[in-house]
């Protein structure tokens, strides 16, 4: 009697099949010696594989994909330097609660711990910056581990998960059975919002005269923007968001107070600090919002609803802390809303708005000011583009001067503040949402940190638009030097300026903008883009800007605008580090 043959699959093939069955449609992956088996399996898959030009670019791209889509982003790299190049992207996903799975190749399991070629303990390296991690030591465990990784990454408070697979496990042949039950007894992030919780929240609202909603990125992660808007309108309570919460409520809505914190709206900061009831929904009281937490919202009772119990009372003691999914909580609270008019409170807010208008800056007609660039971009895109900034002054201007209308519209590195984030994250966002206009707004410093991803845009035909606000400086650090270090330049000039003393870039030459002493900005980004096959245009005069943006938007493919803005603009308003809202700098 002939025995039935069972087809055995390699661990690498099982890994890829798991991704397919979990609904993954794109993987950002860079090959290498210990990941070659994974890439051989990927070559036979129907999933799209995007090859970044650097593993960090792939990591940020996977995060950008997840931020734009709400789905789990997937990135692969080889062992050693390939894995360590992922670290900034993993940390970024951890700080901003972005659902991502990072799969790394590893040296054969019997060689782990012997310092062989390209071995790094990536599990140990990333332990403080992941939600969970797995080292696979048997190919029979791959299905359960991959399914567990995706569940952990995307549920509760989302975050990154690392799966490290030694090469011999990738080569091990075993039977494939996807219907393996996932046993996660150690992980139960769900906590129900009860009717008792709802009554406690409503009781505090009922006695409030000056309530304010403080909405964080958790609103967007939970897909609760519609519920937030309904709550705000039903209860008639103004909303201030965090940087990560921008888009949770349309910014032109009458109840929107824009965003708060170091560079947020003055009236938003005043409302959050002078309210008598602060409703913190999916926010974590980070230092860029609160400054010194002891001086933040001192007049208010605080309700804090968050999916992560470790955030309750972590940075700011609260009156009522509730561990729950914020969408579920808002749905319950929206059942029987308590509406009050709060006439005196809204009158006070209107006074602040008139005294401290939003988006006000001193116009310099002879300059292409960065604020003007963002305003023109918002006008010409009708506030409908997805904006992905790098990190620095341009990031804050992008948050301040574009009119955001929907969630997942501003994708930014909030907690980690990683320069080099913008271009690859925009790349991932465009792959996730090909129907949307995706624009990377960057600084010349931040853009150069992952400039090689121009090659990915061209080869993969990813239609990302790029605007560089070129000031030839590390602008945000230079602003702090101007404000707090007597204008002394500590290696923040990026152009080839020799300095007034001829010894370097501590100070600029007389009448020098920080550019090359030949008078030309450095480097020539338009020529660099051309070398990658991408068209571009320089903008040096204010009257050129609108036409240049229109040309960029009309281009059927990636396009780079290099806009020379000057270096002496400051992001305002600004709350000094460690200060409170009463110390806000306006000019």
Nearest in space to 222 (alpha carbons), one of 306, 280, 303: 306
Taking a C-beta distance cutoff of 8 angstroms, is the pair 407, 352 a contact? no
Cβ neighbours of 341 (radius 10 Å): 8
Nearest in space to 506 (alpha carbons), one of 489, 486, 484: 489
The active-site residue out of 449, 466, 476, 552 is: 476
Taking a C-beta distance cutoff of 8 angstroms, is the pair 24, 72 a contact? yes
Name 561's bridge partners.
467, 537
Q: Where in 354-511 does DSSP place strands (E)? A: 386-389, 438-443, 464-470
- Which contiguous run of DSSP H or E holds residue 277? strand 277-281
- Indicate the pairing of strand 9-10 with strand 173-174: antiparallel
Residues 6+ apart with CB under 8 A from 144: 180, 181, 182, 183
The active-site residue out of 10, 147, 167, 327 is: 167
Cβ neighbours of 520 (radius 10 Å): 11
Q: DSSP letters of 217-231?
A: HHHHHTT-HHHHHHH
Angle at 156 between CA 49 and CA 52, to 5 degrees: 20
The active-site residue out of 118, 144, 340, 452 is: 118
- CA–CA gap between residue 11 and residue 150 (Å, rounded): 18
Q: Is 118 a catalytic residue?
A: yes
Residues 6+ apart with CB under 8 A from 279: 201, 205, 211, 212, 213, 214, 237, 303, 305
Taking a C-beta distance cutoff of 8 angstroms, is the pair 283, 218 a contact? yes
- CA–CA gap between residue 587 and residue 585 (Å, rounded): 6
Cβ neighbours of 383 (radius 10 Å): 18
Q: Is 117 a catalytic residue?
A: yes
Nearest in space to 9 (alpha carbons), one of 105, 133, 143: 143
- CA–CA gap between residue 407 and residue 242 (Å, rounded): 13
Taking a C-beta distance cutoff of 8 angstroms, is the pair 493, 585 a contact? no
- CA–CA gap between residue 221 and residue 408 (Å, rounded): 9
The active-site residue out of 117, 209, 252, 355 is: 117
Nearest in space to 409 (alpha carbons), one of 388, 424, 381, 394: 388
Q: Is 476 a catalytic residue?
A: yes
Nearest in space to 229 (alpha carbons), one of 203, 211, 208, 247: 247
Q: Is 267 a catalytic residue?
A: no
Taking a C-beta distance cutoff of 8 angstroms, is the pair 488, 405 a contact? no
Nearest in space to 58 (alpha carbons), one of 90, 98, 95: 90
Residue 125: both structure tokens together: 């390296």
Nearest in space to 40 (alpha carbons), one of 69, 9, 63: 9
The active-site residue out of 55, 119, 227, 311 is: 55
Active site residues: 55, 117-118, 167, 476
């Amino acid at each position: 009697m002939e025995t039935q043959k069972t087809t055995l699959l390699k661990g690498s093939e099982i890994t890829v099949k798991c991704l397919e069955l979990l609904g993954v449609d794109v993987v950002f992956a860079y090959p290498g010696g210990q990941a070659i088996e994974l890439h051989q399996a990927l070559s036979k898959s129907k999933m799209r594989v995007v090859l970044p030009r650097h593993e960090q670019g792939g990591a940020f791209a996977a995060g950008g994909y997840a931020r734009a889509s709400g789905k789990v982003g997937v990135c692969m790299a080889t062992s050693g330097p390939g894995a360590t190049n992922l670290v900034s992207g993993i940390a970024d996903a951890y700080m901003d609660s972005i659902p991502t799975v990072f799969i790394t190749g590893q040296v054969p399991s019997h060689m782990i711990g012997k310092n062989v070629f390209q071995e790094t303990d990536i599990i140990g390296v990333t332990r403080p910056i992941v939600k969970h991690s797995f080292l696979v030591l048997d190919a029979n465990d791959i299905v359960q581990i991959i399914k567990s990784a995706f569940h952990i990454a995307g549920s509760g408070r989302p975050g990154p998960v690392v799966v490290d697979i030694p090469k011999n496990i990738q080569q091990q042949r075993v039977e494939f059975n996807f219907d393996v039950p996932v046993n996660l007894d150690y992980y139960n992030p769900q906590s129900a919002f009860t009717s008792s919780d709802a009554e406690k929240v409503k009781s505090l609202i009922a006695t409030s005269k000056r309530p304010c909603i403080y909405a964080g990125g958790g609103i967007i992660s939970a897909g609760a923007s519609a519920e937030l808007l309904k709550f705000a309108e039903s209860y008639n309570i103004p909303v201030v968001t965090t940087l990560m919460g921008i888009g949770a409520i349309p910014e032109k809505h009458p109840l929107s107070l824009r965003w708060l914190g170091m560079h947020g709206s003055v009236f938003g900061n005043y409302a959050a600090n002078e309210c008598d009831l602060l409703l913190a929904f999916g926010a974590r009281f980070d230092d860029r919002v609160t400054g010194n937490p002891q001086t933040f919202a001192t007049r208010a009772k605080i309700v804090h609803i968050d999916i992560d119990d470790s955030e309750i009372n972590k940075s700011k003691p609260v009156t009522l802390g509730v561990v729950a999914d914020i969408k579920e909580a808002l749905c319950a609270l929206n059942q029987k809303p308590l509406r009050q008019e709060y006439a005196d409170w809204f009158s006070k807010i209107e006074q602040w708005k008139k005294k401290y208008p939003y988006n006000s800056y001193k116009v310099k007609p002879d300059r292409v000011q960065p604020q003007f660039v963002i305003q023109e971009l918002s006008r010409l895109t009708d506030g409908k583009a997805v904006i992905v900034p790098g990190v620095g002054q341009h990031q804050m201007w992008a948050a301040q001067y574009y009119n955001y209308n929907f969630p997942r519209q501003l994708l930014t590195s909030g907690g980690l503040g990683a320069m080099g984030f913008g271009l690859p994250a925009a790349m991932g966002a465009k792959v996730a949402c090909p129907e949307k206009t995706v624009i990377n707004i960057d600084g010349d410093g931040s853009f150069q940190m992952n400039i090689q991803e121009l090659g990915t845009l061209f080869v993969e035909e990813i239609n990302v638009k790029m605007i560089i606000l070129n000031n030839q400086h590390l602008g945000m650090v230079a602003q702090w030097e101007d404000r707090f270090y007597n204008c002394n330049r500590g290696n923040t000039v990026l152009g080839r300026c020799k300095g007034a003393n001829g010894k370097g870039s501590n100070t600029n030459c007389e009448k020098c903008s920080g550019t090359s002493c030949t008078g030309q900005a450095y480097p020539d980004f338009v020529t660099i883009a051309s070398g990658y096959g991408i068209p571009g245009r320089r903008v040096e005069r204010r009257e050129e800007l609108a036409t240049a943006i229109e040309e960029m938007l009309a281009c059927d493919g990636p396009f780079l605008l290099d806009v020379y803005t000057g270096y002496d603009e400051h992001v305002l308003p600004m709350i000094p580090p460690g200060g409170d809202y009463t110390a806000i700098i306006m000019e």
